[in-house]
């Protein structure tokens, strides 16, 4: 009886959200990452009240994943639904729901995570104005990849990984055979622009794993945002912004020490992308227009502090090699090194 009830709920909720065009602009990304967040960030409940709480938590985790993906990148070009690119995303979104259906029936946290993941885009489908969600009303820029090919590659790899973990991965994060960790951090960046010196915060998000007790592999997304001064805009409009992002793969060496603080060294390489966010009306969608992409690299030295079995912090000094900054017309000088602080959570335990 309980299994039949779960199936009916899964079919009704999925059909309700698929009835609109909400999935056309996002493809599979918000479905798959929302399901992944619901499954692994929210513990399952044992009682009726516990299960209800886990479903609400999974929905909230899905909403959070939407914010992360909008800002830290997934490919979502502007188009109408008759555009050829839109047809690809309609197929991708529909395929995601079909492939996730067995996971939805098995674990409703994945369903509610997916629903939370696509819920913010309903205000686009319903034509609501003004928009409420931070990446839809200009509070947080919505970023994109420089070109269709990059975007498809990113979406495909991300969706495939998330789909595999949601459908065939272990039921709980503790049972994941690979010791994964996620991290949030911030770096202090010093720029000199035509408007004068700027001290900027570069927030970052990372996903990593321990290859060995002394070796880590990490994928980091970081963004720097600042307003472009001197560009006139009408009253009620925000100044245009520059958004520079970096996407790095980092290999870290952590020598074994017995102290509370352990040194580490990282080398990283990847891509740096410049986005231009044009002047928009206050609280309007501030979507980045990718302008340029170049190779980026970094060398990091720092200290790691194990705060608990799951939690560890890193304080580091980074030397960055990013030629892209030299090509930005408003930048007249910069500091190549920056101080960073990151807090990491071990999703699955180190073995």
Question: What domain count does the chain have?
Answer: 2
Q: Is residue 351 part of a domain?
A: no
Whether 193 and 243 share a structural domain: yes
pLDDT tier at 290, thresholds 50, 70, 90:
low
DSSP 46: S
Mean pLDDT for the stretch of residues 141-170: 74
- DSSP secondary structure letter of residue 111: H
Q: What share of the chain is helix, strand, coil (3-state, %, to 5)?
A: 35, 35, 30
Given a contact cutoff of 8 angstroms between Cβ atoms, the answer to whether 193 and 331 are in contact is yes
Which residue has 């399952």 as its token pair?
Answer: 44
Q: Identify which of 209, 210, 323, 346 has the alpha carbon closest to the alpha carbon of residue 274.
A: 323
Task: State whether 249 and 338 are in the same domain.
Answer: yes
pLDDT digits (tens, 9 = 90+) for 334-346: 888 889 999 998 8
314 inside domain: yes
Is omega for the bond preceding 130 within 30 degrees of 0, making it cis? yes
CATH code of 284's domain? 2.40.160.20
Residue 212 CB partners (closer than 8 Å, separation 6+): none
Average pLDDT for the chain = 79
What domain range includes position 46?
A: 2-168
Burial of 309 (0-12, 13-18, 19+ CB in 10 A): exposed
- Is 60 exceeded by the pLDDT of residue 121? yes
| Token pair 């321990």 in the structure block, residue | 210
In this predicted structure, the answer to whether residue 180 has a pLDDT above a threshold of 70 is yes
- Judged against a pLDDT cut of 70, whether residue 38 lies above it is answered with yes
Residues 254, 264: contact at Cβ < 8 Å? yes
- Indicate the residue among 105, 139, 168 that finishes a domain: 168
State the pLDDT confidence band at 22, using cuts at 50, 70 and 90: very low
Residue 320 DSSP one-character state: E
If you search the block for the tokens 């516990």, which residue do you land on? 50
State pLDDT tens for residues 225-262. 787 766 566 666 667 778 888 889 999 999 876 667 88
The 10s digit of each residue's pLDDT in 40-62 is 888 888 888 888 999 999 999 99
Mean pLDDT throughout 204-213? 88
């Amino acid at each position: 009886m309980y299994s039949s009830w779960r199936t009916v709920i899964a079919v009704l909720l999925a059909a309700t959200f698929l009835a609109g065009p909400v999935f056309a602009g996002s493809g599979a990304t918000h479905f798959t990452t929302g399901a992944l967040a619901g499954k692994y960030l929210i513990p399952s409940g044992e009682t009726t009240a516990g299960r209800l709480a886990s479903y609400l938590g999974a929905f909230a985790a899905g909403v959070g994943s939407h914010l992360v993906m909008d800002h830290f990148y997934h490919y979502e070009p502007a188009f109408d639904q008759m555009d050829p690119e839109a047809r690809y995303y309609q197929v991708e979104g529909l395929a995601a729901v079909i492939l996730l259906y067995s996971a939805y029936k098995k674990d409703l946290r994945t369903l509610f995570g997916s629903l939370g993941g696509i819920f913010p885009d309903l205000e686009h489908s319903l034509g609501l104005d003004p928009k409420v969600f931070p990446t839809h009303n200009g509070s947080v820029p919505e970023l994109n990849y420089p070109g269709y090919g990059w975007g498809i590659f990113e979406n495909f790899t991300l969706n495939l990984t998330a789909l595999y973990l949601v459908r065939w991965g272990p039921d709980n994060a503790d049972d994941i055979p690979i010791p994964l960790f996620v991290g949030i951090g911030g770096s202090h960046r010093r720029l000199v622009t035509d408007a004068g010196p700027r001290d900027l915060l570069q927030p970052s998000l990372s996903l990593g794993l321990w290859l060995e007790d002394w070796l880590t592999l990490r994928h980091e997304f970081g963004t720097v945002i600042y307003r472009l001064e001197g560009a006139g805009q009408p009253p009620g409009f925000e100044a245009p912004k520059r958004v520079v992002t970096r996407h790095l793969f980092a290999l870290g060496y952590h020598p074994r020490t017995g102290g509370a603080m352990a040194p580490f060294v990282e080398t990283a390489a990847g891509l740096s992308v410049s986005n231009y966010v044009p002047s928009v009306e206050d609280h309007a969608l501030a979507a980045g227009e990718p302008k340029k992409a170049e190779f980026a690299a970094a060398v990091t030295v720092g200290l790691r502090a194990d705060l608990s079995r799951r939690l560890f912090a890193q304080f580091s000094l980074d030397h960055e090699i990013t030629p892209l900054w030299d090509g930005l017309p408003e930048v007249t000088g910069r500091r190549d090194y920056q101080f960073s602080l990151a807090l990491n959570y071990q999703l699955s335990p180190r073995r």
